[in-house]
Amino acid sequence: MEDVRGHVSDHSSIVSPQGCEKHVRSVILRFGQVAKTRKERSNICHKTP
């Protein structure tokens, strides 16, 4: 069994017509025997000239 401490998996990468990428990733944090999953959403926009 591998250590999943601080493991980050990229679930989806959606590119919108405006050139923005919506990233949703799950971050798994382990505290002893308790595992918490936190979802992080971030928008990365590339401005076109």
pLDDT at 19 over 70: no
CA-closest candidate to residue 28, choices 3, 1, 5, 2? 5
**pLDDT band at residue 40 under the 50/70/90 scheme:** confident
CB 8 within 8 A of CB 23: no
Contact by Cβ (8 Å): 28, 12: no
Query: Is the pLDDT reported for residue 23 higher than 60?
Result: yes
What is the helix (H) or strand (E) element at residue 10, kind and residue range? Answer: strand 7-15
Q: State the pTM of this model.
A: 0.27
- Which conformational region is residue 6 in: left (phi greater than 0), alpha (psi within -120 to 50 degrees), or beta? left
